[in-house]
Amino acid sequence: MAENGERVVARFVAKPSSVEDVKRILTDMIDPTRAEDGCITYELLQNSADPTDFTFVEEWDSKADLDRHAVSEHIKMGRELVKEHLARDSDVRVYTLIR
């Protein structure tokens, strides 16, 4: 585990009619991201109580790795494809490990 790495929690809320579309688009981003340099963890979660609610939990070796990820082609394409299926803007939060 990276001692000073970056952590990300990225939440996406699908329109009720678009749950399967959002799930497919977000799932398609997993394998290319896991292959990126510096990716330690990249997991997609779906809320059991609210299937429209998806969250990525990410761990990166460094801010530079995360910055490269943010501008990668598969992430840019995924963001573009998913936005019409979302009930609201995504909520992406970046954290630095304290302890």
Which position has the token pair 């990276």? 2
Summarised one tens digit per residue, pLDDT across range 33-74 is 999 999 999 999 999 999 999 999 999 999 999 999 999 999
Interacting residues of 40 by C-beta distance below 8 A, sequence separation 6+: 1, 2, 5, 59, 60, 61
Please state, rounded to an integer, the average pLDDT across all residues of the chain.
95
Residue 2 has pLDDT above 60, yes or no: no
pTM: 0.92
Predicted confidence at residue 92, as pLDDT, reads 96
Residue 80 per-residue DSSP state:
H
Average pLDDT of the residues in 24-36: 98
Predicted confidence at residue 20, as pLDDT, reads 98
Rounded-to-integer distance, Cα 35 and Cα 63, Å: 17
